[in-house]
Chains A and B, each alone.
Chain A
Amino acid sequence: MSPVEEALSRAHRAEWARLVAVLTRRFGDLDIAEEAAAEAFATAVERWAADGVPPNPGAWLTTTAVRKAIDRLRRESKREDKHREALSMHDEQEPVGAIDDERLRLLFTCCHPALAMEARVALTLRMVGGLTVPEIASAFLARESAMGKRITRAKNKIKAARIPYRVPSAEDLPRRVSGVLAVLFLVFNEGYLATGPGTDPVRQELTAEAIRLTRLVRGLLPDDGEVAGLLALMLLTEARRAARVSDSGELITLHEQDRGAWDADLIAEGHRLVRERLAAGAAPGRYQILAAINAVHTSARDARDTDWSQVVALYDQLVRLDPSPIVALNRAIAVAEIDGPEVALAAVDRLALSGYHAFHATRADLLRRLGRVPESRSAYGRAIELAGNTAEIAYLTRRRDQLE
């Protein structure tokens, strides 16, 4: 990468969300903001290559984007009064510290509960993450035109229904933050357990983007325990990425992973966050508990050293917050390590999860350990039918075919 390309990509990462946020505030319109921000970067590609990188890229981009937005408003023959107003107030200075608020406002607007979850994800990746529509479409295996429509429809609803551009009030904040975190976790999981036959088993661009956005939220809301928890959970999961899929594209389970291949820096950062939350002494939410479970796993030098009773205790805590069958399934997997596969199987068999591949994969493994080969084989078969991740399918197929 040339120095100019590097400066452009750095500026894109650092400045996109701020730029869109500032423009949205100034012009009151997500469309204009997005387009002007994109045009400013397109101009930067040409101008920086010819004239060199400006001393303050952020300020250069803002000035250029504001000019682009005003040009667009002037070009449009059918201007609304609101736009004329925006033109007259464009020289207002940003107060120091307001930028963080602007980006938060943008994030809360994109993750508004009146929008469909898919629209929130797409809009957040576009407006806050700066991903292009084709990039988002390919990440979610959607057609570009369909993804474009989804984003346009969401922007239209924000405008027509007047979804407010602001940080929610203190009383609404916890619930609204959890909505933002749900969006980010969805992006992360789609990257980490990518589904679809034609994709890589792990989509690093999605996990990386989710982590980057969660870091941003953490910077904006440093006192929120669940934000820290989700970041820790992502880091501790991401740390194992390189060890999780074999060269032949097969999933390697936690038990069998080469722990030397884990990313020590990410683990250290994740552990630091988990310790910080423990020290805070506040009752942990779902992400903090999941992060703590991952901290236990990543603390063991060898799979055999895993403190399973600690893992089960944490799942007990999680079950109290979230009594869903999926949590119960994961708890049963840990229970198998302490009380044996028979006890775990009894718990698993009570769960109504027959459409979920991990339910059948867990049953298959427990039945295999109990020597119930034909039943195990058929459970593997069911899991393979339902699984969407190519690495997981390869792993399950080998396990089934190894059954004696």
Chain B
Amino acid sequence: MQYLVSVIDDKTASATAEEMTAIKAFNERLQAEGHWVFAGGLNAPSTATVIEHRDGEPIFTDGPFLESKEHLAGFWVIEAPDLDVALEIAAEGAERCNRKVEVRPFL
């Protein structure tokens, strides 16, 4: 079963060197223990472009589809047998990256 662990932040690229080191160690452990699928950090919402396909033409809009103080700063996709394991991993992720995270199961 796969879960998306979203990192929620109100700043961008704000991780300190210590946090980056902690995240790296955490990622390595996820890989070693078979929970790792994919992870990444995201650039600022201001760098986003929204595309809508209308009347056969793509329309590009500058900016994110949701304007909010908090945004998606990065994510992990993890493999876990159940929510308890996913929550345990996510809780550690929240601690390591020092940010709020959200856990959602894939369909």
Contact = CB atoms under 8 A, between A and B. Distances in A.
Q: Do A and B come from one complex?
A: yes
A368 B17 CA distance: 62
Nearest to B1: A162
A146 interface: no
A160 interface: yes
B84 interface: yes
A166 to B, nearest CB: 8
B105 interface: yes
Secondary structure class of chain A's binding surface, majority of residues: loop
A160 B105 contact: yes
Nearest to B82: A164
B37 to A, nearest CB: 16
Interface in B70-92: 81-84, 86-87
Interface residues of A, number: 9
Interface size bracket, B side: 10 to 19
A95 B73 CA distance: 49
B60 to A, nearest CB: 34
B105 A161 contact: yes
Secondary structure class of chain B's binding surface, majority of residues: mixed
A278 interface: no
- Among B1, B83, B86, B87, chain A packs the most CB atoms within 10 A around the CB of B83
A162 B87 contact: no
Contacts of B107: 160
Interface in A150-200: 160-164, 168, 172
A114 interface: yes
Given A160-B105, A162-B1, A114 B87 contact: yes
A272 to B, nearest CB: 36
Contacts of A162: 1, 81-83, 105
B105 A164 contact: no
Interface string A111-128: 010100000000000000
Contacts of A168: 84
A160 B104 CA distance: 9
A172 B91 CA distance: 14
Contacts of A112: 83
Contacts of B103: 161
Contacts of B82: 162-164
A160 B86 CA distance: 13
Contacts of A160: 105, 107
A161 B107 CA distance: 9
A172 B83 CA distance: 14
Nearest to B105: A161
A114 B103 CA distance: 10
A160 B1 CA distance: 10
Contacts of A161: 83, 86, 103-105
Contacts of B83: 112, 114, 161-164
Contacts of B105: 160-162
Nearest to A168: B84
Which A-B residue pairs are the 3 nearest by beta carbons?
A164-B82, A161-B105, A162-B82
15 contacts: A114-B83, A114-B87, A160-B105, A161-B83, A161-B103, A162-B1, A162-B81, A162-B82, A163-B82, A163-B83, A164-B81, A164-B82, A164-B83, A164-B84, A168-B84
Given A112-B83, A160-B107, 8 more contacts: A114-B83, A160-B105, A161-B103, A161-B104, A162-B82, A162-B83, A162-B105, A164-B82
Interface of B: 1, 81-84, 86-87, 103-105, 107
